Structure 1
Amino acid sequence: MQYDVIIVGGSFAGLSAALQLARARRQVLLVDAARPRNRYAAHAHGFLGQDGVPPQEIVARAREQLARYPTVAFLDDEALQAAPVDGGFELVLAAGQRVRGARLILATGMRDELPALPGLQERWGQTVLHCPYCHGYEVAGEPLGVLAAHPMSAHQALLLPDWGPTTYFTQGQYEPSPEEARHLAARGVRLERTPVVRLLGEAPALRGVALADGRQVPVHALFVASRTHMASPLAGQLGCAFDEGPLGPVIRVDELKQTTVPGVFAAGDASTPMSNATLASASGVMAGICAHRSLVMA
């Protein structure tokens, strides 16, 4: 079967795109490997109408609603390869199936790479966090830390005192500029230049960090900017251009979510350095509408 649009990725962006196309009565295939970036978080926050709801529950409810539309099909599989073919694009799935669509929406997401510090991964999404807007409220009032992993980490430390007393751990690598240091001091942020070598407490809980000189600093949540990588090779296989974001590459798109490859759209975290549930959903809406418009205009 030739679909009008194949969407790869079934989290907030992909589901939002599928809903627009379903309501336009187009034949849509949603391919999902069920490895969303937010799978480590117990709850979604800051998402209007869904605040505090587990991400898996939001996805399950959305899929249930989508299934009511007769033109939507689901494949719970991983798309391994993508290539242009006459009239559109062909995907090869992990199970060996090949599927074709006239348009392609990549909502494939990102993979996070944390600093090489023991204890971070098993706390990721619970007490080791990336976004104060997503998770700060739940840890507010407790001693907080920012583990420097990027030149923008000082900016993260500037934000955090609105949620709690903050220590900025430079790791001996990401010293704030004189201007940043003045702003951090004005915000009451404590600077710690001795590197963190170990996290304290039984994961996923966190009660503090151990420093290289033997000291311990009380910290109940640690914010860190992960390096980001494409979770899927499809955009590269298709020849899509990338832009270098502050934490890693993102697929280059225009205001209509069109990539540099005609007929291929991108949505969600893979297409923007701003990762947020609401923004991902909104970009999926735009990608779905614009993919439909491209079919009409063709």
Structure 2
Amino acid sequence: MELSMQYDAIIVGGSFAGLTAAKYLARARRHVCVLDLGDPRHRFSAQPTGSSRRYDDDPHSVLQSMWDEVATYPTVTLLAEAAVSVQAQLGDFVVTNWSGEHIAGRRLLLAFGVSDILPDIPGLSERWGVSVLPCPHFHGFEYGRKPVGVLNASPQSPQQAMLLSEWCPTTFYLDGGECDVSMRETLESLKVRIEAAPVKRLAGVGCNLARIYLADNQIQPLDTLFLTPCHQLNSPIAEELGCAIDTGPLGQTIAVNAQQMTSIRHVYAAGDICRQTANITLACADGMKAAMAIHHSLAFDRDNIEQRDRSNGGFHAGYVNLLR
């Protein structure tokens, strides 16, 4: 197998978590390769959820500015490629991309993200991120006192309706689903209106929502619909490597420790693939933690220290003893 180059770390996924990690590793003067196709989860959103950037920034411009900044570091290689497979070989990880190149790295960071599984309702997917929204904590502020709807799309949906009812007149659309007596009583006590009929379609001009059509021939005016979708991992690489996978109410996540390392030594994970909640700030924090852990593991690697120790007359012997 011919290798194109060996890196200190390979990062699979170049969204907020991956690029943050790449920047921190680059500033530690580590050689990093980032593979990313440029289709992040937030590409549908009008605003970057959970970011402290200007309100009028969109996720594309925020990501592009991060990409441009990381590209200025001479030790970073950015590839517009997807990772097809990863193999562990003689202490390294060899990533094969779509072009058939084999790229080796001493550490591996998985940050390939997840994809939302949206309900199959006509008119919904094209409004996702604009007038059909995922997060009351981020988007709810703009809709104070304006009527909103919540679609029963996941186990978290009733909680969304409860949260929004603090700020807005809220309708909970069961979409033909069930609502037990206790939950119904709780929602009604918060003045949440419940519609049981299946949702037929959403309508409006462009990406804006104006009306919701129900199966019982009701047509209701509605400007904003919230839903918490389930998700799926964008790549099978973690499972193929043998990383432990957790299954939560919204989908699978990769299990990591406090340093973002998976159950496989020297394989790390960051971002939405480790969390049930999507948030840019948290994804960036995960990327930073992973980068610091990777840097430390490289700097204090026993073989690396012993080699430096031999060339420096025993200066690093203390570090080696700590690692034994």
TM-score interval, normalised by the smaller of the two chains = over 0.9
Aligned residues: 297
Which residue identity does 2:63 align to in structure 1? V
* Aligned counterparts of 1:257 and 1:51: Cα–Cα separation in 2: 30
Contiguous gaps of at least 5 residues in structure 2: 302-324
The alignment status of 1:98 with 2:105, answered yes or no, reads no
Structure 1 residues 80 and 171, CA gap change in structure 2 (3 angstroms)? same
Counting only pairs closer than 5 Å after superposition, residues 60-75 of structure 1 correspond to structure 2 as 60-75=64-79
Which residue identity does 1:267 align to in structure 2? A
Which residue identity does 1:273 align to in structure 2? Q
Counting only pairs closer than 5 Å after superposition, residues 187-198 of structure 1 correspond to structure 2 as 187-198=190-201
* Aligned counterparts of 1:7 and 1:163: Cα–Cα separation in 2: 41
Which of 200, 207, 210 matches 1:204? 207
Cα distance, 1:140 vs structure 2:
4.0
* Aligned counterparts of 1:52 and 1:140: Cα–Cα separation in 2: 19
Which residue identity does 1:5 align to in structure 2? A
Segment drifting more, 86-95 vs 59-68:
59-68
Secondary structure of the corresponding residue to residue 165 of structure 2: helix
Aligned equivalent of 2:316: none
* Aligned counterparts of 2:80 and 2:273: Cα–Cα separation in 1: 20
Cα distance, 1:5 vs structure 2:
0.5
The alignment status of 1:286 with 2:289, answered yes or no, reads yes
Cα distance, 1:185 vs structure 2:
2.3
* Aligned counterparts of 1:104 and 1:42: Cα–Cα separation in 2: 32
The TM-score normalised by the length of structure 1 is: 0.95
Aligned equivalent of 1:160: 164
Structure 1 residues 203 and 251, CA gap change in structure 2 (3 angstroms)? same
* Aligned counterparts of 1:254 and 1:174: Cα–Cα separation in 2: 37
Which residue identity does 2:289 align to in structure 1? M
Secondary structure of the corresponding residue to residue 278 of structure 1: helix
Aligned equivalent of 1:80: 84
Aligned equivalent of 2:57: 53
The alignment status of 1:253 with 2:264, answered yes or no, reads no
* Aligned counterparts of 2:118 and 2:178: Cα–Cα separation in 1: 16
* Aligned counterparts of 2:7 and 2:163: Cα–Cα separation in 1: 45
* Aligned counterparts of 1:34 and 1:201: Cα–Cα separation in 2: 29
* Aligned counterparts of 2:280 and 2:189: Cα–Cα separation in 1: 31
Which residue identity does 2:259 align to in structure 1? L
Which of 18, 24, 38 matches 2:22? 18
Aligned equivalent of 1:123: 127
Asked if the contact 1:253/1:271 (under 8 Å) is kept, the reply is yes
Secondary structure of the corresponding residue to residue 182 of structure 1: helix
Asked if the contact 1:107/1:268 (under 8 Å) is kept, the reply is yes
Structure 1 residues 161 and 295, CA gap change in structure 2 (3 angstroms)? same
* Aligned counterparts of 1:94 and 1:31: Cα–Cα separation in 2: 10
* Aligned counterparts of 2:221 and 2:48: Cα–Cα separation in 1: 26
Structure 1 residues 275 and 231, CA gap change in structure 2 (3 angstroms)? same
Which residue identity does 1:25 align to in structure 2? R
The alignment status of 1:220 with 2:198, answered yes or no, reads no
Aligned equivalent of 1:30: 34
* Aligned counterparts of 2:27 and 2:34: Cα–Cα separation in 1: 15
Asked if the contact 1:44/1:52 (under 8 Å) is kept, the reply is no
The TM-score normalised by the length of structure 2 is: 0.87
Which residue identity does 2:81 align to in structure 1? D
Cα distance, 1:39 vs structure 2:
0.4
Question: C-alpha offsets along residues 31-86 of structure 1, whole Å, 9 cap, x if unaligned?
Answer: 11111000001221431244431111111111222222221111111111111111
